[in-house]
Structure 1
């Protein structure tokens, strides 16, 4: 059996899928240790995985919550700019502490997250086998693929390629502090520098939570890239929810995720847009706002701090979302269409794929108003094509393999230390 180490960003949208993969590997007899900030010890232990703290000398306890609170107030470019310094700091922590922690724990292989690019560098420097996972959308850095932080559609034309390349150039400039931190470590170990951010160096396998159907029509993709669908694994904890308060009307599930969930004005806009519809609105707030503080929303929606998202979405007719990939995949897994309001990070790119696949409507957060949100909700409700497209995606996800297939690929890659080709490439 193998002792795996997980290196990923300290965000729920990345931790939860990685935990699911870790739990699947653990159920097969492997040992899995998560290397993370001290603040996340309880969260890792609740997933019944091993925990190794990093950053004790560089990290101020409690500052993760402060960072989330600040990020929740921002959107768009401001949010991206604010997060760069935190990501640089995380790279610094991982470079300083992860190698020694990996050696002392006896970790034999790594599972790294594409959005924590220094993880691959650690694997290379220690000569450990590693597999890269895209918990958000797979970031290709190809000229024909619009950047993950844009709502641009896929257009394989010269002008679109030039536009995309210019945007990637701006991304690299914006993320220069992160690249400098990683390259400082690489230079010390006589490794060639990274020229671009989020450009995976995985050689054995690259695994994406997307199903292949929820991707732009790439004519060529890396032979070791596997689209396996969402990572889900039974959790030891359950989230209470007042199912008895559901009225039996068509259910609209609304969530702004785990970071951008303090925008009270957006919740009011959602409630007003759904007021008067023959539907019951359920809003989950996360840690950002307490449900007791949102009792005056128009239409008296059912508002909860937390919800068992998968179970509630399975009862829904529509999801209103910020465009976080996990919520999108949970909706598509249930064949539920969406209205997305991308806020920041990779959410616009996910919104672009929602448009491309016809599984919902998309409104940029800066353009969200009661009138256009209500019109989008009514359009998705009344036009059966959205649900049919979502159900097609549901079938694709059911056939993609999910966390079990991901674990199969990880095992094969680490045992063979050879690239694991995706089935599509094997057929070719």
Structure 2
């Protein structure tokens, strides 16, 4: 059996899918250990996966909560810029501590999130096999594929390629502090420099949470790229929910994820838009709203801190989301159409895929209004084609294999790698 190490960003949208993958691998007899900052110890252990701390000499306890609080106040490019400093600190932590942690724990293979690219550098330095995992969109770094942070649709034309390349150029420019820190260690470890951020060097396998149908029509995809669908299985954490308060009205489920959940004006707009419709609004705010703010929301929404999302999605008629990949895929797993309000990071790119697959509608955050949101909700609820298209994605998810297929691929390529090493000896 193999000991897998997980290196991923310290955000729930990445931790939860990786934890599901870890549980699946553990159920097959493997050992799995998260290498993470100390603040995440209880979270990781509550998900039933091993934890090993890194960054104890550098990391200031509580910094992640402060980072979340600040990111929750920002949107669009400002949020991206703010996150650079924290990402740079994570590079230092991983480069300084991960090699020692891997040696101490006996980790044999790394599972590296595409948004924590320095994990690949550590694997290359230690000559360890590694597999890239994309919890958000696959970042292709190809001229014909729009960058993840843009709302652009796929167009294989010369002008679109130029536009995409310009956007990628500015992405690399804005991420120079991260690239410079990674390259300082790569030079120290006698590895060639990285020229571009998020350009994975994975060769064994690159696994994506997207199902094949929820992607642009990109030609000539790499043979080691696998769209397996959402990485999900039962978490040991139990979430209480007041099911007795659900009505027979069509349910509209609203969530802004775990970082943007302090956008009170957006929640207020959602509540006001639903107040005059014959629907029951269920809001999961993830701890982002105080009791006073909850009481001030228009209408009579059912508001909870957390919801058992799969159970709720099974009952929902519509999901309102910030276009986070996890909530989007959970909704589509049940054939539920969406109204998306992208805020930052990869959310505009997820919104572009919602538009291209016509599983919902996307509204611009700066132009959001109660009347526009209400009419969009009515449109998606009453136009059958949105649900029909969402059900097509649902079928693609069911056929893609999910976390079990991801584990199959990981076992296959790591066994093949081990066989090649034995043959070489």
- Aligned position for 1:97: 97
- Aligned position for 1:357: 357
- Aligned position for 2:283: 283
Could you tell me how far apart the structure 2 residues matched to 1:418 and 1:220 are? 28
Moved over 6 A (4+): none
1:50: how far off?
1.0
Q: Which runs of 5+ in 1 are unaligned?
A: 420-428
- Aligned position for 2:151: 151
Summarize the alignment of residues 5-404 of structure 1 with structure 2, pairs less than 5 Å apart. Answer: 5-291=5-291, 293-404=293-404
Checking the alignment, whether the CA contact within 8 Å between 1:290 and 1:305 is kept in structure 2 is no
SS in 2 for 1:417: helix
1:141: how far off?
0.8
Could you tell me how far apart the structure 2 residues matched to 1:259 and 1:286 are? 9
Of the structure 1 ranges 347-356 and 375-384, higher mean CA displacement relative to structure 2 is found in: 375-384
TM value normalised by structure 2: 0.97
SS in 2 for 1:295: helix
Could you tell me how far apart the structure 2 residues matched to 1:366 and 1:352 are? 17
SS in 1 for 2:44: helix
SS in 1 for 2:281: strand
SS in 1 for 2:110: strand
Could you tell me how far apart the structure 2 residues matched to 1:259 and 1:287 are? 10
Could you tell me how far apart the structure 2 residues matched to 1:269 and 1:287 are? 18
SS in 1 for 2:316: coil
1:151-177, Cα deviation, whole Å (9 max, x unpaired):
011111111110000000000000000
SS in 1 for 2:237: coil
1:287: how far off?
2.0
Checking the alignment, whether the CA contact within 8 Å between 1:144 and 1:161 is kept in structure 2 is yes
1:281-331, Cα deviation, whole Å (9 max, x unpaired):
001110222345311211111111111111111100000000000000000
Checking the alignment, whether the CA contact within 8 Å between 1:3 and 1:31 is kept in structure 2 is yes
SS in 1 for 2:213: helix
Could you tell me how far apart the structure 2 residues matched to 1:213 and 1:290 are? 39
SS in 2 for 1:20: helix
SS in 1 for 2:226: strand
- Aligned position for 1:417: 417
Checking the alignment, whether the CA contact within 8 Å between 1:291 and 1:303 is kept in structure 2 is no
Could you tell me how far apart the structure 1 residues matched to 2:406 and 2:393 are? 19
Of the structure 1 ranges 333-342 and 306-315, higher mean CA displacement relative to structure 2 is found in: 306-315
Checking the alignment, whether the CA contact within 8 Å between 1:291 and 1:304 is kept in structure 2 is no
Of the structure 1 ranges 32-41 and 280-289, higher mean CA displacement relative to structure 2 is found in: 280-289
Could you tell me how far apart the structure 2 residues matched to 1:286 and 1:240 are? 13
Could you tell me how far apart the structure 2 residues matched to 1:187 and 1:99 are? 16
SS in 1 for 2:395: helix
- Aligned position for 2:423: none
Of the structure 1 ranges 270-279 and 352-361, higher mean CA displacement relative to structure 2 is found in: 270-279
- Aligned position for 1:422: none
Q: Which runs of 5+ in 2 are unaligned?
A: 420-425
1:353-383, Cα deviation, whole Å (9 max, x unpaired):
0000000000121111111111111110111
Could you tell me how far apart the structure 2 residues matched to 1:256 and 1:120 are? 30
SS in 2 for 1:116: coil
1:89-124, Cα deviation, whole Å (9 max, x unpaired):
101100000001001111011000000000111111
1:252: how far off?
0.1
SS in 2 for 1:367: coil
Checking the alignment, whether the CA contact within 8 Å between 1:204 and 1:418 is kept in structure 2 is no
Checking the alignment, whether the CA contact within 8 Å between 1:231 and 1:403 is kept in structure 2 is yes
Could you tell me how far apart the structure 2 residues matched to 1:315 and 1:212 are? 25
Could you tell me how far apart the structure 2 residues matched to 1:298 and 1:165 are? 44
Could you tell me how far apart the structure 2 residues matched to 1:350 and 1:291 are? 31
Count of aligned pairs: 419
TM value normalised by structure 1: 0.97
